[in-house]
């Protein structure tokens, strides 16, 4: 039981959530604006996308397999090394849900980036860095992954010290797996953001882009201030 947990997907998922929390710490206002600070369509897209970001790791841990998904990244001749635990292949129906969540996540993030940012430097960096990390880390983690098999006997009759030591070095494996997964997502996001930016530009070049509703409030206050003349506070009630 302990070996199945150590060699399973939930520890990897916990590390992924930890990295996501660290990356978004102090940026709650940005996330709030993506979900509630724009037009109804873009708010709903932000809500669906961020929901997919939160659900996707937990779904894979509960119904799919991180190592099976990562096995698609190496060349065909090396893919057998990517799943040393001989796990049962994920049923097609569950895998299709994983693919659907992944598509929603990547396309949603790419479209939101085209709407709210739109620069090309970040997607290019994500593609280059994601490919570099994936190609560097994945072969290493495949070899380290095999070492987990050697702990099966020790974890079948666990001792506190042995289990703590195995968990200590296994954390490095979980971190490599998590970074490889996030690198693959970043690579997919970067490659998708560039055409998404082009499509967004083509769709909005002949019309003004809808402003975030809060700017209309500021605009009305400025117009009222000018209408009332100098010395009048736009935030105070207009004399009758």
Question: pLDDT tens-digit profile of 18-38?
Answer: 999 998 888 888 888 889 988
- The predicted-structure confidence for 212-225, as pLDDT tens digits, reads as follows 554 454 456 666 66
What's the start-to-end Cα distance of the chain, in Å? 77
Q: Is residue 173 part of a domain?
A: yes
Q: Is residue 115 part of a domain?
A: yes
Q: Is the pLDDT of residue 94 over 80?
A: yes
Q: Is residue 48 part of a domain?
A: yes
User: CB-based contacts of 43: which residues, under 8 Å, 6+ apart?
Assistant: 34, 35, 36, 37
Q: Is residue 122 part of a domain?
A: yes
Q: Is the pLDDT of residue 179 over 80?
A: yes
Q: Is residue 233 part of a domain?
A: no
- CA dist 158 and 153 (Å) reads 9
Q: Is residue 186 part of a domain?
A: yes
Q: Is residue 97 part of a domain?
A: yes
pLDDT value at residue 83:
67
Q: What angle do CA 30, 186, 19 make, to 5 degrees?
A: 60
Range scoring the smallest mean pLDDT among 78-92, 166-180, 194-208:
78-92
Q: Is residue 143 part of a domain?
A: yes
Q: Is the pLDDT of residue 239 over 50?
A: no
Helices (H), 64-159: 66-70, 92-116, 121-147, 152-156
What predicted TM-score, i.e. pTM, was given to this entire model? 0.78
pLDDT value at residue 70:
87
- CA dist 41 and 43 (Å) reads 5
Number of domains in the chain: 1
Q: Is the pLDDT of residue 112 over 80?
A: yes
Q: Is the pLDDT of residue 166 over 60?
A: yes
Cβ atoms 46, 38 nearer than 8 A: yes
Domain that holds residue 102: 2-204
Give the distance, in angstroms, between the CA of residue 187 and the centroid of all CA atoms in the same chain.
11
pLDDT value at residue 182:
95
**DSSP assigned state of 163:** H
pLDDT value at residue 15:
95
User: CB-based contacts of 40: which residues, under 8 Å, 6+ apart?
Assistant: none
pLDDT value at residue 146:
78
Could you tell me which residue, 6 or 234, shows the higher pLDDT? 6
């Amino acid at each position: 039981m302990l070996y199945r947990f150590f060699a399973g997907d939930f520890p990897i998922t916990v590390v992924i959530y930890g990295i996501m929390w660290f990356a978004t710490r102090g940026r709650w206002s940005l996330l709030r604006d993506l979900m509630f600070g724009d037009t109804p369509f873009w708010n709903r897209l932000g809500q669906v996308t961020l929901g997919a970001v939160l659900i996707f790791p937990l779904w894979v841990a509960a119904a799919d397999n991180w190592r099976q998904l990562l096995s698609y990244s190496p060349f065909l001749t090396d893919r057998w090394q990517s799943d040393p635990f001989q796990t049962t292949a994920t049923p097609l129906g569950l895998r299709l849900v994983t693919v659907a969540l992944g598509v929603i996540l990547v396309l949603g993030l790419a479209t939101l980036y085209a709407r709210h940012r739109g620069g090309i430097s970040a997607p290019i960096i994500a593609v280059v860095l994601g490919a570099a990390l994936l190609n560097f880390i994945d072969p290493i983690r495949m070899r380290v992954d095999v070492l987990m098999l050697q702990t099966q006997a020790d974890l079948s009759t666990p001792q506190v010290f042995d289990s703590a030591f195995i968990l200590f070095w296994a954390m490095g494996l979980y971190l490599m797996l998590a970074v490889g997964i996030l690198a693959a997502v970043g690579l997919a996001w970067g490659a998708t953001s560039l055409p998404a930016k082009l499509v967004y530009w083509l769709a909005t070049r002949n019309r003004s882009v809808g402003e975030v509703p809060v700017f209309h409030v500021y605009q009305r206050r400025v117009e009222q201030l000018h209408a009332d003349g100098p010395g009048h506070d736009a935030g105070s009630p207009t004399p009758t």
